[in-house]
Structure 1
């Protein structure tokens, strides 16, 4: 086998592995919606998010230490990690949890599937980022959003602009945070993913713990056993494990490829709701999932070698 053929095979294997990780991340984050539904009746949003990110930070710090990694000492890096923790966890987790208290989960799912659109819009207005925007990626974003709407149900769109506009704005604000987070997170490419995840979650905990204490007095709550178990699942699986995968994917698939998982996340949320909560699975959901997969493939697949400039 020639060197070029070996490199092509290796590249395809690597891409397959990264897409597999994107699927896993989407499955994990899709499951978080189910866990939030279990948690929110007895644990309010700020307290739930504070517990989630604090437990995740502890787990990540222990793993990073066990692997022999040292946390950065530069103040500039910690300032950047504070912004990352705000964009990736503290702000969107709280906004989504509060928003879903006031609007239907289906509408929230559609609104929360918009990060790739924000990333594409940001890329189109940036000088260097504009070069990465292709017709195929634009089509992929459109297919993915249509797939989410079909999966959750087009009737979920009927509430847009009429029901609880502030809650809708909150969920869209969370999507904007999710779009900005991977773009900002590219600056941590020289740090191990576990270190970036541990630092960002530690900063998110620093932001959320005072908010929970001041706004919700968590010591007065009486959460159910199921809610406590759900918070542990959110913290360990949906946050600690997910963040390690997430910061790896930012380096390998880039911001748009990584945020395309929001389409898959919506599909998995519907599938898990059908399996575990007894929710109805419709033929349009199957069509929607097919559109989602087509959109993700269009966004993440590289340009074939035969279409590239041979001089590059």
Structure 2
């Protein structure tokens, strides 16, 4: 991996880590439905504009895949994180987000009806232990609604795991940018009825509108473009290392801008979860060496 791509990888992790910060800022005023609807709708418009600039025609023939991935990879997990953001801090959500590859391994094992290898199985156990450490010793667990927030985060990463398996089995033939653009519009269609039947909690201040713009344009539109460029240039395996960097930035942004406390259990739980994720994904230092 050359220096330019290493910088892109770090930038991608920083951007995705900031999404939890932006949700924490915006959800008290907008509520989860309006927040996520705005995020996905604006991101869809942004990607459509990019598609015009790049002269990437919309392939309507893949509408089934767009709708499926729009639901599983965008609408449901984004909504789940929106609801979780009402009670959980950015650090907690960012760390729990790292369990997505663990769910992916479980889903694929169930689909192919094959027991995971010893290393993957060990990674699953370690990852679950990390979640237990993170949640069992954190004071936020005593906050009203926190348990439901934790379930929502884990449900979101479960959706990511299912979407990952679906992509490998049913949508691998579709160009990555087409998947990103089409699934964002698919997610917008699912959220439209919820959006028109709800209303924001209160009148949003300017900081909330900035957070929405950050979520939609930066954390969704720009991040997707960065992600797919990295997949093209360094491969999916190397790009997957962003999973290990996102919690670091999520915790950092939460501490810097929201004053969130970083306890010893948070750091220990995060390290255990990331170790389990590394084993599950087969991460090796060699995959980030120059090609």
- Shorter-chain TM range is 0.7 to 0.9
Q: Distance in 1 between matches of 2:31 and 2:193?
A: 14
Stretch deviating more after TM superposition (264-273 or 57-66)? 264-273
Aligned to 1:205: 188
Aligned to 2:207: 226
Aligned to 1:6: none
Deviation per CA, 1:226-281, whole angstroms, max 9, x where unpaired? 00000000001111122334557788437xx84x7555433321122122223334
Aligned to 1:242: 223
Listed as ranges, the gaps of 5+ residues in structure 2 are 287-291
Aligned mate of 1:83, from 51, 68, 72: 68
Aligned mate of 2:120, from 137, 156, 163: 137
Deviation per CA, 1:96-124, whole angstroms, max 9, x where unpaired? 21133245666655654432232222222
Counterparts in 2 of 1:302 and 1:105: CA distance versus 1, 3 Å:
closer
Q: Quick check: which has more Rg, 1 or 2?
A: 1
Aligned to 2:155: 173
Aligned to 1:307: none
Normalised TM-score (structure 1): 0.73
Aligned to 1:69: 56
Q: CA deviation at 1:29?
A: 2.0
* Residues 53, 205 of structure 1: 8 Å contact kept: yes
Q: CA deviation at 1:63?
A: 1.0
Aligned to 2:16: 29
Deviation per CA, 1:89-148, whole angstroms, max 9, x where unpaired? 1111112211332456666556544322322222222327x48x4333344445555566
Aligned mate of 2:165, from 183, 196, 216: 183
Deviation per CA, 1:138-160, whole angstroms, max 9, x where unpaired? 4444555556676x675238839
Listed as ranges, the gaps of 5+ residues in structure 1 are 1-12, 305-312
Counterparts in 2 of 1:98 and 1:52: CA distance versus 1, 3 Å:
same
Q: Distance in 2 between matches of 1:285 and 1:102?
A: 17
